[in-house]
Amino acid sequence: MDLSNLNKEQREAVITTKGPLLILAGAGSGKTKTLTSRIAYLLEEEKVSPYEILAITFTNKAAGEMKERIIDLVGFAGEKIWAGTFHSMCLRILRMEIEEIGYKPNFVIYDETDQQSLLKQILKEQNLDEKSFPPRLVANTISNFKNELLDPKGAKRYINGDFIMEKNVELYEIYQEKLKQNNAVDFDDIIMLTVQLFKANSEILSKYQNRFRYIFVDEYQDTNHAQYTLIKLLAAKHRNICVVGDDDQSIYRWRGADIQNILNFEKDYPDAKIVKLEQNYRSTQAILDAAYSVIKFNSERKDKRLWTDKKGGELIDYFTALDEEEEAFFVSREIKKRVVSGENTFADFAVLCRTTAQFRVIEENFIKNGIKYQIFGGMKFYSRKEIKDVLAYLKAIANPDDRISLARAISTPKRGIGEASWNKVNQYADENNIPITLALLDAAAASVGAKAGKAMVEFAEKMVEFQALSAEIPLHLLLETVLEQSGYMQMLNEEKDVEAMSKKENLEEFFSIVTAFDRDHEPSAENLSHFLAEVALYTDLDNLNDKENTVTIMTMHGAKGLEFPIVFIVGMEENIFPHARSIASMAESEMEEERRLCYVALTRAKEKVILSRSLAHMLYGRTNRNMPSRFLGEIPANLLNDLSYRKKQNSFSTSNGLSHKPIQPQNMDKAEKFNIGDKVAHNKWGIGVVVGIKGAGDDLEYKVAFPEQGIKTLIAKYAPIKRA
């Protein structure tokens, strides 16, 4: 096999085929190329069967790209390896083996909305107030337990006399019982139940240990305790485990990722070989130097320094705006200037934010200035009400025990079935230990009123018909039948408003997805479950369209694994980035995670990084004056180029037609002083009244009430106001 296209370290990783291997792959160092070449080497040179290779990634998109590259290298054999996410791999195992732990193979996966519905139902049954036990917080607590592989019994040791924790554990126990009753699992169960299965049945574990003699795990720094345990179990027999990752890019601590998994790899495998990939093929040296100057302040890391053949590169631009609106205008101006000149297209740019709350002002400015964009991190397609409605029907068809989906389907459209009637049927099913569908068909015996009972029987009969059809007709025809015969399309047709039109368009898009699935799958009840599993494991990034000519707006967390020619990082201020929560925690581990996030954001750029901050920033309805981000101070001055027109008045231009006027600073010695009650004129917001004064000198602030804008806090030193 020709390895001449690999560098020395990459080749070393590829030909190391036996035993534990840790590949420390810095950002943009060709880790996917190395990983796929190593798999191809095993197939071509070591004659390993593709059925014995398991490759795990964190997104479906990454798994698909990996498989395509392997097929390009070795042909059809690449089709036969298992390549997917942790959840997709575990789901395949559970579909075949879950009966061993008391579930049926046609189980459904509950998403966040389904979880909330089930928890609300439980809270009501337990007479607990949702304000005291918010379902979202209870769900997070349960998720944390599962990520640590703690079942309700194991979670009890964390009560320690805490009443709230005691109730959370009780709710967890009831929640798990209800899930099993509904033949449902949640997202965290998929891995936890697989681990439980392996620990409970040594024969099944041995089967998969022998099946996967060679295991690859990408993004190992992002694994949580459950994922770590799963891999350790699978690799225990043959120990041919290759993990690829970068501790400097471990940014998911808030969802359970444990950086110690990669830092302690040699402790788990004392005979492990370590290969560092430090040659970067993405960014300029200036960008890499800036990123290293930030990350080197972290103590929990394995030392490595990225370098590139691309010497030099443009300096890191840095801009200080008066407020977040001017900051957004600056981003628009820079993008449009480069696009109008022909240097770049919109697709070359990404705007990275610490939080989704920063999206609004950027989006508004882009709309105003005709800049095409796409946002990642907003409402996902599968989270829309109409999509969740039809998915509820499909879930209930695939799994008639799923009471949460049945409850949603039976109430949409409205059929005159109230909550009391639904509860009676549920109670009847529990008392007689019969499936909920049979209870619906026997609604009269459940003491349900005549009108509601008739509607229940009609609904149940339709669902039984749909279940029979699911094994006989393609999924798109089943969906069409369900929408028509359930009355759902009639409900939308009767609404006759813009929102209903939008819902229909989304359903048409869903039809396209279902039709595409049908091209590769024959009609069967099993394939309906397979489709629902694909949908449940779908992530927003799987839909990232890098072919569209649009600017990408996303969070720094969402940008991991991506690259763009030019990257804007906005909100470089204390309390925004690093986040106020991390500062308030006083924990060094929290600040190190923020610093890693900065490293990730910087290394998304191939050619250019542009940083910006505001002197006054309104976020979550409050205006604050934040200090510059500490990360700015960690980048050497010789790598920064200050674009602030306050220092370089001549460099500011509005010749590209953007709808904004520059705000010029006032000289404090000559600036007019105002008192409470004075009327002032602002060149953007019009006439206002001074309603508050705070501070003195450079820190003097005016609170001014404007008729349309509300109360604004203006820094006197820079405020573009004069007496009206």
Q: Catalytic residues, which ones?
A: 31-32, 218-219, 249, 604
Rounded to 5 degrees, φ, ψ at 3 are -110, 15
Structure tokens at 566: 């030019």
Write the CB contacts of 317 (distance below 8 Å, at least 6 apart in sequence).
608, 609, 610, 611, 640, 641, 643
| Angle subtended at Cα 717 by Cα 681 and Cα 318, rounded to the nearest 5 degrees | 110
Alpha helices in 545-659 (DSSP H): 556-559, 580-585, 588-602, 630-634
Q: Is 188 exposed, middle or buried (0-12, 13-18, 19+ CB in 10 A)?
A: buried
Q: What is the largest CA-CA distance in the chain?
A: 87
User: Helix, strand, or coil here: 505?
Assistant: helix
Q: What is the DSSP letter of 596?
A: H
Strand order in the sheet with 349-353: 373-376, 551-555, 349-353, 564-569, 605-614, 316-321, 640-642
Rounded to whole angstroms, the Cα distance separating 540 from 560 reads 13
Cα separations in angstroms, 163 against 131, 142, 152, 160, 167:
15, 16, 16, 9, 6
Rounded to whole angstroms, the Cα distance separating 126 from 139 reads 16
Structure tokens at 168: 């959370």
Provide the b/e sequence for 684-706 (b: ≥16 CB within 10 Å): ebeebbbeebeeeeeebbbbbeb
Strand partners, 25: 277
Q: Where are the beta strands (DSSP E) in 354-425?
A: 373-376
CA proximity to 539, closest of 381, 689, 673? 381
Task: Give residue 661's region: left, alpha or beta (phi > 0; psi -120 to 50).
Answer: beta
Rounded to 5 degrees, φ, ψ at 423 are -65, -35
Rounded to the nearest angstrom, the gap between the alpha carbon of residue 497 and the centroid of all alpha carbons in its chain is 32
DSSP string over 20-49: -EEEEE-TTS-HHHHHHHHHHHHHHTS---
DSSP string over 231-263: HHHHHTTT--EEEEE-GGG---GGGT--THHHH
| Angle subtended at Cα 220 by Cα 217 and Cα 222, rounded to the nearest 5 degrees | 130
DSSP string over 185-224: EEHHHHHHHHHHHHHH-HHHHHHHHHH-SEEEESSGGG--
Bridge-based pairing of strands 551-555 and 349-353 is parallel
Query: How many other C-beta atoms can be found within 10 angstroms of the C-beta atom of residue 192?
Result: 22
Rounded to 5 degrees, φ, ψ at 172 are -60, -45
Rounded to whole angstroms, the Cα distance separating 682 from 715 reads 13
Contact 344, 663 (CB under 8 A): no
Bridge-based pairing of strands 605-614 and 564-569 is parallel
Contact 158, 166 (CB under 8 A): no
